[in-house]
Structure 1
Amino acid sequence: MKFKTTILLMTIMLSILTSCKKDVEKSTAEKTEEITYQGKEISLENDQKIDSLIAKMTLEEKVGMLHGNSMFSNGGVERLGIPELKMADGPLGIREEISRDSWAPAGWDNDFATYYPAAGSVAATWNPELSYVFGNSVGQEARARDKDMILSPAINIIRTPLGGRTYEYFTEDPFLNKKLSVPFIVGIQDNDVMACVKHFAVNNQETNRGTVDVLVDERTLRELYLPAYKAAVTEAHAYSLMGAYNKFRGDYLCENDYMLNQILRGEWGFKGIVVSDWAAVHSTVKTLENGLDIEMGTPKPFNEFFLADKLVEAAKAGEISEEEINKHVKHILRVLFQVKAIDGENRIKGSLATEAHYKDAYNIAAESIVLLKNNKNLLPLQLDGVKSIAVIGNNAMKKNALGGFGAGVKTKREVTPLEGLQNRLPKDIKINYAEGYLERYSKNENNQKEEVTLDGPVTVETLDEVKLNEAIDAAKNSDMAIIFAGSNRDYETEASDRKDLSLPFGQKELIEKVLGINPNTIVVMIAGAPFDINTIKEKSSALIWSWFNGSEGGNALADVILGTVNPSGKLPWTMPKKIEDSPAHATHSFPGGESVTYKEGLLVGYRWFDTKNIEPLYPFGYGLSYTTFEFSDLKTNKQTYSDKDVIEVTFNIKNSGDFDGKEVAQLYVSNPNSKLERASQELKGFKKVDIQKGTSKNVTILLPIKELGYYNVDKKGWIVEPGTYKIRIGNSSRAIKGDVSISVN
């Protein structure tokens, strides 16, 4: 007995020591940079085997690998053990199985998947670890569905608030973009599946996307639109990229020598596959010689693709060498070996729609929700004395996993906001639901989706009188009200940009009427892109911004409303007061016609608003909490640096409120005496910190001096300008809590 007691005591002591060690490690980790994500490079060890396979292939078999053989696969060579490369859409989760030769669903009963929050939600978490969680989780689902490639993530810069795919992209800022893109890609590829990073590049509008020629100066291209793609290739080692629909400087991006050969493969050393967007190819020889590997497309006979029979004919006529064809086949085979699709011993099997994956979706959703306003402390919801709650709005019941022109997810679980409240509220509280407004669209002859235009979904703005009266009655006869408004994936959609920032379906009038009846009203906007909520901001006391937030979105939203989760989301883009304030619109350079010139240059998003002193409705990086945070003791490890140094920026954050919470510290850099055109400040670091109430944490952000560089067009490289820089710390681009100056030699 004495021996057992001694062993027990020793075990307890070891546990305590281990716990202390973890606490020390955690404390130390808070003083270092965020986790660094590095992908696995494409191996060349199978090149001899690959050359042997290619030598055994006929011309027709090689060409068969360079174009679609079904809607989501290329051709394999069965006799040589080369499988088809099987693809799946994946921005919101793994798309349901479709027919081989059409967009019609295949009708499977085993392709239900997890619906994940959209990329805009991930960006709003400002948490690279959750970006990795998303990628890793959806990568597991891709393998469970026997896929080799996920057509995700989409990492184009948000240039206009009206973009139909804003919800699908991360952010307006290149630094935040690359810091979220890299872990996402690594997470996917850790599961023996290729990430296909899209849409390369300068693909920033849906209007005329298939024809528009984008004209942007070289410095802007390098500093804003390419950093995330470069990081995807050089840090995450993405196995594939997707060429965009549009032109760049006169050439379509799927046959653009400068972008695909000179930059992507030449400068960045890309060894993977370049896949076309669907039906984005316009030539045969030029496309292949200028860097594309696989042509995918919309329904038509697959042998009629540019890289099908026409390529065989071109090769036989001597218009293109078989050596050129071999090079592209080799790209494909290398990556098939890389993900163990060939000789795939111990290839990850994956798992689909598990509780663990639903929890991943919940965790992302919970950290993405942004608290915009909380004047009367209506939030978190205090239930003492509350017997009834009016829940108003079509969005309380709207499901977004499917819908719109782009890829969705067939899922068995999508918790709506109303269901989330029903799951979380005490059963003795009565919920009075009223739809409030109808999601109605007018006939729109121009919105045929064949030639993409700015005509978008045309909505009926008149409120239905019966629905309005039901909402008013619910608000009158309830202790408080929650309105769920905003958008949906039928309104924000691939293939059309919005006409303006107006809320659709008469929602503005509905919200104003309810606010006038019941002052205890919380307004929840569910959308992926900015809207005109000027009046709602002024008249409401409590305002929340949520997203197309996945299978567990309703539960996460209810937990934020009730205070189980303290909101920590931050806006990943600027919300303008009016569309004319946004740079692409202020410069009258959207949407363009045959071509579009990015006249705003370097000043995209908050860079424009801050440099031009234009007040936004809500700034980039903005988001409130149920607690309060105080920043202090900002300093750097020294005052003068060389261009190869790393600045250690340290400061303290105190949680001085009544709730545990997470704050996003944002590091902006300014070079006020620069001889060049530069934004007034640029995001160059951030860290999300979890702090218990009444406690403080010392935080360190590591800032490599190279991040202060600009792209020198004449020297074709990055240069750090000597001089004095200001390092600013805040919790949005307009809420700077302190600054310190440093010098660079």
Structure 2
Amino acid sequence: MKKQSILHLGIIMLILIGSSCKPETPEVLKEKDNGIQTPELSLQYDEKIDSLIALMTIEEKIGMLHGNSMFANKAVERLGIPELTMADGPLGVREEISRDSWAPAGWDNDFATYYPAGGGLAATWNTELSLRFGQSVGEESRARGKDVLLSPAINIIRTPLGGRTYEYFTEDPFLNARMSVPFIVGVQQNDVAVCVKHYAVNNQETNRDSVDVLVDERTLREIYLPAFKAAAVEANAYSFMGAYNKFRGEYLCENPYMLQDILRDEWGYKGIVISDWAAVHDTKKSLEAGTDIEMGTPKPFNEFYFADPLAEAVAKGEIEEAELDKHVKRILRVMFNLKTVDGVGQKKGSINTEEHFQDAYAIAAESVVLLKNESDLLPLKLDGVKRIAVIGNNATKKNALGGYGAGVKTKREITPLEGLKGRLPEGVEVQYAEGYRERYAENEKAVFGDITLNGPVPINELEPELVEQALDAVRNSDLTIVFAGSNRDYETEASDRASLDLPYGQEELIEKVLEIDPNAIVVFIAGGPFDIQDISEKSNALVWSWFNGSEGGNALADVLLGTVNPSGKLPWTMPKKLEDSPAHATNSFPGDDSVTYEEGILVGYRWFDTKNVDPLYEFGYGLSYADFQYGNMITDKSEYNEEDTVVVNVEVSNRSEVDGKEAVQLYVSAENSQVERAQKELKAFNKVAVPAGKTVTVPLSFKVKDLAYYDTAQKTWVVEKGEYTIRVGASSRDIKGEATIVIR
């Protein structure tokens, strides 16, 4: 049975439940539990581990400390110790590759579910979906026999040009942390360790292998470390990945301040540190700083720093055997906790299942962001519509594989065109025209200014024949949808974009379409911001979607047709122009041998709000087909001490005939602070379902200690006493209510 528009469903629903547009007595909702946690690494196996280590030769110990294949260390078969197996996993479990090269292994049983990229997950603002994502991909990892999933990637989005923006979560440390913790918990419930990456301040792909990141201590603590701290302290992540770059002159994989002083001594981390592939540069420094396993690809495995050179260093007495024992014990502790050594009681997992495809659908459906909807063009009105023109290469582009980064070999990836065709009522014809073609320059050396590092250089000239085919389709149709944006061949690991311009001449094509049909729906599919200001001004309906997984096309079609009410919110700021973004306004990207984060704590919306720079679309922005109205906002007290929790309740009414979900956001401003503070900072959020015609009371809370800033002189967190303003709203700029509290 074909699914109908949201208006038809809304009418049926009103008849069934007898609701009206008049708000009723608010339903009091419960706040989502953000205190979810996995157990710490158990020490119950330590005696057995010590016994095993006592039986191991130096060669066997060293074999466990470095890659013996592309994604595993070396087993100690005579003692029953298997390999520690790993897999890339930001989009799902990567296909099996050869043991000694990146070539596919050619298996026919390594298909997996393609899940939405990190940007899409973050856009849901739904921690329950993050947990579901983790549980689902954890089951798939276990089914493939993987002990470590190299995910999540939680670095702060510092520049909108970032090649891995699609994979990272957000520009905000609080939202990063809150979305990361449940994902980690979900994965590790399946006897699979996450590998949280890339620790740390790995915020650009340009010169990532060598750039020295210089950032002041307060900015480090307040912006770039909170999500990693939450991963270690709250979620008890079993492994971290050491980043490529340097930090204050030392590579991250040989940086004792980051790996020992902060990670282990301050946060009490008990897991293992795995290097990014070929991120180790010194045997003794890296091992003694806290890197446990060296992984990589560019040379024979026995030539790794933790292989033959390590054996030589031990033989010369430069490194004690006790140092090897320390790292082997950490690895074995993780393996025993994962039940990898004996396999007794280890979960079996499942992969490529219909249930997992529906997990991917649920995330995708809540990730789509409605940017503009003049004259209520959406959801699509299909009365009298016989033909729909679908324009754009992105209507058929698949993104499970592509680019330099890890992808997924999947049996299912529904494209937007396929999704629409499968969801439209019978009798509605779809006329597809490619419009623009994804093309790249050949044999052109890529340099910054054209494209950073070795990324693809797009050809931005339209092909007249394709344009004319597209415009003919528009002229001969009752309704037009343009699918534009980017793809994973263009947004890719190992290179940042040179500009925010839409590639392949798309902007010109969209403008030509809008001249014929001003009401054409423009749908962007991309991982990071683009310059869409002119298109935004000229179009009446804009939708933003992501590299959104196996069911992305179905989810997007359901949003366009109204079966799903869009509830996504932007996890980053969409600037009007690149120069408005903080790293670019301060001319501190991409640097050269080093890069200094001149904007300090004013990252993302903090910069735009504090400096009074208007974005095109602000952090947390996203519209709905429902009409949400915010009402009373009440704090449980007016004065608090440092040990208290601030509880805020706000009424949200749905004055429409359709059910919807709203991500209610709470920001705090420190009034009269003695130090530089952002104009506002996100401190709580709660995504809630609000039925048509109903009013709900949405609870939000945060600890007073969350108001602290990092005092570099005292090397501690300080909560200033005095007044704070609490602002609750639908985005960082769309504030619906305010209250003042006092911290005594």
TM-score range, shorter chain: over 0.9
> What residue is the counterpart of 1:260 in the other structure?
259
Write the distance in 2 (CA, Å) between the matches of 1:34 and 1:731.
21
**1:620-641 CA-partner distances (Å, limit 9, x unpaired):** 0000000111111111111110
> What residue is the counterpart of 2:243 in the other structure?
244
Write the distance in 2 (CA, Å) between the matches of 1:390 and 1:226.
47
> What residue is the counterpart of 1:4 in the other structure?
none
Q: Is the 8 A contact 1:215 1:598 kept in 2?
A: yes
Q: Is the 8 A contact 2:452 2:497 kept in 1?
A: no
**1:590-628 CA-partner distances (Å, limit 9, x unpaired):** 000000000000000000000000000000000000011
Letter in 2 for 1:328: H
Write the distance in 1 (CA, Å) between the matches of 2:45 and 2:35.
28
Q: Is the 8 A contact 2:567 2:623 kept in 1?
A: yes
Q: Is the 8 A contact 2:626 2:654 kept in 1?
A: yes
In the TM superposition, residue 448 of structure 1 has moved relative to its aligned partner by 9.7
Q: Is the 8 A contact 2:280 2:294 kept in 1?
A: yes
> What residue is the counterpart of 1:731 in the other structure?
730
Letter in 2 for 1:389: I
Write the distance in 2 (CA, Å) between the matches of 1:36 and 1:624.
29
Matched position secondary structure for 2:512: helix
> What residue is the counterpart of 2:202 in the other structure?
203
Write the distance in 2 (CA, Å) between the matches of 1:714 and 1:105.
52
> What residue is the counterpart of 1:285 in the other structure?
284
> What residue is the counterpart of 1:594 in the other structure?
593
Matched position secondary structure for 1:167: coil
Matched position secondary structure for 1:231: helix
**1:182-218 CA-partner distances (Å, limit 9, x unpaired):** 0000000000000000000000000000000000000
Write the distance in 1 (CA, Å) between the matches of 2:453 and 2:537.
30
Write the distance in 1 (CA, Å) between the matches of 2:447 and 2:193.
33
TM-score, length of structure 1 as denominator length = 0.95
**1:121-174 CA-partner distances (Å, limit 9, x unpaired):** 000000001011111100000010000000000000000000000000000000
> What residue is the counterpart of 1:74 in the other structure?
73
Letter in 1 for 2:300: P
Q: Is the 8 A contact 2:34 2:178 kept in 1?
A: no
Check if 1:371 corresponds to 2:370: yes
Equivalent residues in 2 for 1:20-39, closer than 5 Å: 30-39=29-38
Percent identity, aligned pairs only? 68
In the TM superposition, residue 703 of structure 1 has moved relative to its aligned partner by 1.3
Q: Is the 8 A contact 1:401 1:410 kept in 2?
A: yes
> What residue is the counterpart of 2:413 in the other structure?
414
Matched position secondary structure for 2:166: helix
In the TM superposition, residue 519 of structure 1 has moved relative to its aligned partner by 2.4
The structure-2 alpha-carbon separation of the partners of 1:226 and 1:444, relative to structure 1 and needing over 3 Å to count, comes to: farther
Write the distance in 2 (CA, Å) between the matches of 1:486 and 1:713.
43
Equivalent residues in 2 for 1:594-613, closer than 5 Å: 594-613=593-612
Write the distance in 2 (CA, Å) between the matches of 1:675 and 1:444.
55
Letter in 2 for 1:74: N
Q: Is the 8 A contact 1:456 1:499 kept in 2?
A: no
> What residue is the counterpart of 2:559 in the other structure?
560
> What residue is the counterpart of 2:513 in the other structure?
514
Write the distance in 2 (CA, Å) between the matches of 1:638 and 1:287.
50
Check if 1:632 corresponds to 2:653: no
In the TM superposition, residue 236 of structure 1 has moved relative to its aligned partner by 0.3
Matched position secondary structure for 1:376: helix
Write the distance in 1 (CA, Å) between the matches of 2:70 and 2:27.
51
**1:63-83 CA-partner distances (Å, limit 9, x unpaired):** 000000000000110000000
Write the distance in 1 (CA, Å) between the matches of 2:390 and 2:213.
45
Write the distance in 2 (CA, Å) between the matches of 1:405 and 1:47.
40
> What residue is the counterpart of 2:676 in the other structure?
677
Q: Is the 8 A contact 2:88 2:406 kept in 1?
A: yes
Write the distance in 2 (CA, Å) between the matches of 1:249 and 1:514.
51
> What residue is the counterpart of 1:54 in the other structure?
53
In the TM superposition, residue 454 of structure 1 has moved relative to its aligned partner by 4.4
Q: Is the 8 A contact 2:60 2:76 kept in 1?
A: yes
Matched position secondary structure for 1:206: coil
Matched position secondary structure for 2:609: helix
Letter in 2 for 1:718: W
Matched position secondary structure for 1:554: helix
In the TM superposition, residue 345 of structure 1 has moved relative to its aligned partner by 1.2
In the TM superposition, residue 717 of structure 1 has moved relative to its aligned partner by 1.6
Q: Is the 8 A contact 1:444 1:458 kept in 2?
A: no
Check if 1:547 corresponds to 2:523: no
**1:405-439 CA-partner distances (Å, limit 9, x unpaired):** 00000000000000000100012111010000000
The structure-2 alpha-carbon separation of the partners of 1:408 and 1:54, relative to structure 1 and needing over 3 Å to count, comes to: same
Letter in 2 for 1:407: A
Write the distance in 2 (CA, Å) between the matches of 1:275 and 1:122.
25
> What residue is the counterpart of 1:44 in the other structure?
43
Q: Which has the higher contact order (CA 8 A, sep 6+)?
A: 2
In the TM superposition, residue 713 of structure 1 has moved relative to its aligned partner by 1.3
Equivalent residues in 2 for 1:93-104, closer than 5 Å: 93-104=92-103
> What residue is the counterpart of 1:145 in the other structure?
144
Runs (5+) with no aligned partner, structure 2: 1-25
Report the aligned-residue RMSD: 1.2
> What residue is the counterpart of 1:658 in the other structure?
657
> What residue is the counterpart of 2:495 in the other structure?
496
Q: Is the 8 A contact 1:101 1:299 kept in 2?
A: no
Name which of structure 1's ranges 514-523 and 123-132 shifts more when overlaid on structure 2. Answer: 514-523
TM-score, length of structure 2 as denominator length = 0.95
Write the distance in 2 (CA, Å) between the matches of 1:166 and 1:496.
11
Letter in 2 for 1:324: E
Write the distance in 1 (CA, Å) between the matches of 2:202 and 2:125.
23
> What residue is the counterpart of 1:742 in the other structure?
741
Q: Is the 8 A contact 1:568 1:623 kept in 2?
A: yes
> What residue is the counterpart of 2:225 in the other structure?
226
In the TM superposition, residue 34 of structure 1 has moved relative to its aligned partner by 3.6
Q: Is the 8 A contact 2:185 2:235 kept in 1?
A: yes
In the TM superposition, residue 263 of structure 1 has moved relative to its aligned partner by 0.5
Aligned residue pairs total: 717
Write the distance in 2 (CA, Å) between the matches of 1:661 and 1:89.
35
Q: Is the 8 A contact 1:479 1:520 kept in 2?
A: no
Q: Is the 8 A contact 2:630 2:650 kept in 1?
A: yes
Name which of structure 1's ranges 31-40 and 723-732 shifts more when overlaid on structure 2. Answer: 31-40
Name which of structure 1's ranges 337-346 and 536-545 shifts more when overlaid on structure 2. Answer: 337-346
Matched position secondary structure for 2:504: coil
Matched position secondary structure for 2:682: strand
Matched position secondary structure for 1:358: helix
Q: Is the 8 A contact 2:452 2:498 kept in 1?
A: no
> What residue is the counterpart of 1:12 in the other structure?
none
Write the distance in 2 (CA, Å) between the matches of 1:65 and 1:602.
40
Name which of structure 1's ranges 56-65 and 455-464 shifts more when overlaid on structure 2. Answer: 455-464
> What residue is the counterpart of 2:21 in the other structure?
none
Equivalent residues in 2 for 1:240-639, closer than 5 Å: 240-447=239-446, 453-454=452-453, 456-639=455-638
Letter in 2 for 1:602: I
Q: Is the 8 A contact 1:393 1:435 kept in 2?
A: yes
**1:252-286 CA-partner distances (Å, limit 9, x unpaired):** 00000000011001101111110000011101011
Letter in 1 for 2:739: V
In the TM superposition, residue 715 of structure 1 has moved relative to its aligned partner by 1.9
Q: Is the 8 A contact 1:444 1:457 kept in 2?
A: no
Write the distance in 2 (CA, Å) between the matches of 1:444 and 1:555.
38
Matched position secondary structure for 2:223: helix
Matched position secondary structure for 1:361: helix
Write the distance in 2 (CA, Å) between the matches of 1:454 and 1:392.
32
Letter in 2 for 1:349: K
> What residue is the counterpart of 1:168 in the other structure?
167
Letter in 2 for 1:559: D
Write the distance in 2 (CA, Å) between the matches of 1:604 and 1:518.
39
Letter in 2 for 1:209: R
Runs (5+) with no aligned partner, structure 1: 1-25
Q: Is the 8 A contact 2:684 2:700 kept in 1?
A: yes
**1:442-463 CA-partner distances (Å, limit 9, x unpaired):** 12543499xx944632111110
Letter in 2 for 1:254: C
Q: Is the 8 A contact 1:257 1:290 kept in 2?
A: yes
> What residue is the counterpart of 1:10 in the other structure?
none
Write the distance in 2 (CA, Å) between the matches of 1:725 and 1:27.
28
Write the distance in 1 (CA, Å) between the matches of 2:60 and 2:47.
19
In the TM superposition, residue 33 of structure 1 has moved relative to its aligned partner by 4.5
